[in-house]
Amino acid sequence: MPSLHWFRRDLRLADNPALLAAVEEARVADDEVVPLFVVDPALWRAAGAPRLAYLARSLRALDEALDGRLVVRHGAASSVLPAVAREVGAPSVHVTAATEPYGRRRDEAVERALDVPLVRTGSPYAVAPGRLTTQAGTPFQVFTPFRGAWLDHGWSVPARRPQRVPWADVPSDGVPDEPGTDVDLPAAGERAAHARWAAYVQDGLAEYGTLRNRPDLDGTSMLSIPLKYGELHPRTLLADLTQAPFDTATFRSELAWREFHADVLWHHPCAARRSLRAVVPEDSWDDGDASFAAWAEGRTGYPFVDAGMRQLRALGWMHNRVRMVVASFLVKDLHVRWQRGAQHFMDWLVDGDVPQNQLNWQWVAGTGRDAAPYFRVFNPVTQGERFDPDGAYVREWVPELRGIPGRAVHQPWRLGLEAPEDYPAPIVDHAVERKVALDDFHRGRDA
Ligand SMILES: Cc1cc2nc3c(=O)[nH]c(=O)nc-3n(C[C@H](O)[C@H](O)[C@H](O)COP(=O)(O)OP(=O)(O)OC[C@H]3O[C@@H](n4cnc5c(N)ncnc54)[C@H](O)[C@@H]3O)c2cc1C
């Protein structure tokens, strides 16, 4: 009997224990492996064009690595999986476990619809969400003790890449066409991801601790995209970190944040939509469209914010420091609910990922587990001056401001008559809105 591996967020051959389990099952049966990907029209319609375009490219790369044998089928997973399992006569369906709310629900539905077992092996994380608890047996609420338990628990070594696999020749609908997008996407696929990581280990990782907060310098790995699609597994990165001849604890700690957010969402699936705690009264929010549109289009008049929002539209990616600043600006200067900003990010980010996106938004909004306190309001000017000290990042993404040298670019309104006419004045006064946010916070606390 051929074995069946259903690819989802594990679009790779190396270090993929679920795929290895399918290959082993086929070896024992002396049969072939069917590599399947399901295009669910409901999901396909819901995702932003940058993510879909990247996914289509990643699937093409996977198909190539599978000697053109990737089987793509369209339809709801709970219909497609039983049909394919029957068609090929598979004794089980192998998957990497889904851990976020949608994937868990979908897999439960598939499991009910199948008449063979759904075999889950591994997860997209080094330590599966839900595995770690405090000594009292409760979920972790705070990052630092979580990271300690995560390090103590450890993870297995990367799984070997299966060799000479007899991929089955089964009819496929073909990889879907990618939607049009103006976003400048990075190279997709497992091979490109490994090349990116190898180059970063060689040229960037040693400086990560000092440069990671500088959006004007190419100081971070940009691996959030391959990690999101499972073109690389974090276990592979963690194994390589131990080989580096310099300190890699800061980079490892960022991977731990990724695991912490997945763990929080595992225990609190509602966090994908709702604040884990309310911090301001409901009447604090502005549900209008004008300021939201200015933020989304990068026209707030705050150069550091606008540079980030335009980088997002150009690359489908934004530097982490700037993500924090633009998110804080939306929630605390414009008083817009974090959920609207999170949805905009999901529409544009190529690495848009429910656990990381929603929980980071909740962190900035002060509503999450171990979140930044609500009264911490990022100052969009001083953040720019500190992390983009010469203004190069702003000038790269906001062409109207290219004529302003140095850090003066962070406050064009100070230039008086010399300020560029085609760049907007600030849509709000940060000092005033910060006070409004703090007053809202105090009202919420006293209520
Ligand atoms: C409002 C907001 C929304 C975000 N939305 C997403 C999202 O949808 N998808 C996503 O992958 N990340 C998200 N992040 C986290 C972070 O900004 C990105 O992971 C990071 O910018 C990716 O760039 P990089 O790979 O160069 O990171 P690096 O600095 O090179 O970090 C290495 C890896 O560590 C992980 N990491 C780093 N910072 C964080 C963090 N704050 N939280 C969780 N993991 C982290 C990522 O997997 C990243 O690839 C968000 C952050 C904020 C503040």
Given a cut of 90, whether residue 27 has pLDDT beyond it is yes
User: For ligand 1, is residue 214 a contact (CB within 6 Å)?
Assistant: no
Alpha helix ranges (H) inside 204-353: 208-211, 224-229, 234-241, 249-267, 290-297, 303-315, 320-328, 338-348
User: Which protein residue has the closest C-alpha to ligand 1 atom 53?
Assistant: 324
pLDDT on residue 82:
98
325 CA distance to ligand 1 middle (Å): 14
For residue 261, the ligand 1 atom closest to its alpha carbon is: 43
Cβ of 347 closer than 6 Å to ligand 1, yes or no, is no
Tell me, what amino acid is at 284? S
Instruction: State the greatest distance between any 2 C-alpha atoms of the chain, in Å, as a whole number.
Output: 79
For ligand 1, pick from 254, 295, 383 the residue to mutate: most ligand atoms within 8 Å of CB.
254
| pLDDT score of 44 | 85
Answer yes or no: is pLDDT of 294 > 80.
Answer: yes
Q: Is the pLDDT confidence value at 259 over 80?
A: yes
Is 239 a pocket residue for ligand 1 (Cβ < 6 Å)? no
**pLDDT classification of 85: cutoffs 50, 70, 90:** very high
> pLDDT by residue (tens digit) across 320-329?
999 999 999 9
Nearest to 119 by CA among 84, 94, 91: 94
Domains of the chain, first to last? 3-123 (3.40.50.620), 124-158+190-267 (1.25.40.80), 282-446 (1.10.579.10)
Examine the pLDDT at 373 and tell me if it is beyond 90: no
> Is 112 buried (19+), middle (13-18) or exposed (0-12) by CB count in 10 A?
exposed
Q: Tell me, what's the pLDDT at 368? A: 86
Q: Catalytic site residue 338?
A: yes
**Beta carbons of 413 and 311 less than 8 angstroms apart:** no
pLDDT tens sequence across 421-439: 999 999 999 999 999 999 9
Query: Which of 224, 309, 349 to mutate for ligand 1's pocket (most ligand atoms within 8 Å of CB)?
Result: 224
State yes or no: is 155 an active-site residue: no
The interaxial angle of helices 249-267 and 354-365, nearest 10 deg, is 90
Residues 235-250: tens digit of each pLDDT: 999 999 999 999 999 9
Residue 411's nearest CA partner among 436, 391, 440, 393 is: 391
- Classify residue 389 by burial, with Cβ atoms within 10 Å: 0-12, 13-18, 19+: middle
What was the pLDDT predicted at 215? 98
- CB of 9 closer than 6 angstroms to any ligand 1 atom: no
Q: What are phi and psi of 72, to 5 degrees?
A: -105, 130
Name the β-bridge partners of 4: 34, 93
> Which atom of ligand 1 is found nearest the CA of 349?
8
User: Is 317 among the residues known to form the active site?
Assistant: no
pLDDT at 1 over 90: no
Provide the pLDDT for residue 303.
98
For the chain, what percent of residues have pLDDT higher than 90?
Answer: 93
Average pLDDT, stretch 165-172? 97
Ligand 1 centre to CA of 224 (Å) is: 6
Least confident of 15-24, 46-55, 193-202: 46-55
Question: Is residue 51 in contact with ligand 1, taking CB distance under 6 Å?
Answer: no
The answer, yes or no, to whether any atom of ligand 1 lies below 6 A from the CB of 352, is yes
Residue 372 has pLDDT above 80, yes or no: no
| Mean pLDDT confidence for 131-152 | 97
Q: Is the CB of 327 under 6 A from ligand 1?
A: yes
Separation between Cα atoms, residue 164 and residue 66, nearest integer Å: 10
Q: H or E segment at 146?
A: helix 143-153
Per-residue pLDDT, averaged over 404-418, amounts to 94
Q: What are the tokens at 427?
A: 């849509």
- How far, rounded to the nearest angstrom, does the alpha carbon of residue 367 sit from its chain's CA centroid? 19
Question: b/e per residue, 337-372, with b = 16+ CB within 10 A?
Answer: bbbbbbbbbbbbbbbbbbbbbbbbbbbbbbbbbbbb
Tell me the C-alpha to C-alpha distance, in Å, between residue 405 and each of 173, 383, 401, 416. 54, 18, 9, 15
Q: What is the pLDDT, as a whole number, of residue 419?
A: 86
Which tens digit of pLDDT belongs to each residue from 149-164? Answer: 999 999 999 999 999 9
Residue 63, H or E segment: helix 49-65
Binding residues for FAD: 208, 220-224, 251, 351-353
Contacts of 166 (CB under 8 A, 6+ apart): 26, 31, 32, 33
Residue 349: which of 176, 215, 183, 102 has the closest Cα?
183
Sign of torsion, CA 291 294 300 303? positive
Average predicted confidence (pLDDT) for the chain: 96
Q: Can 150 be counted among the known catalytic residues? A: no
Band (pLDDT 50/70/90 cuts) for residue 370 is confident
The pLDDT score that the predictor gives to residue 374 is 78
What CA–CA distance (Å, rounded) separates 318 from 311? 6
pLDDT of 447 higher than 80: no
The kind and range of the H/E element at 118 are strand 118-120
pLDDT at 46: 80
Q: What is the structure's pLDDT at 371?
A: 72
* DSSP-assigned letter for residue 175: P
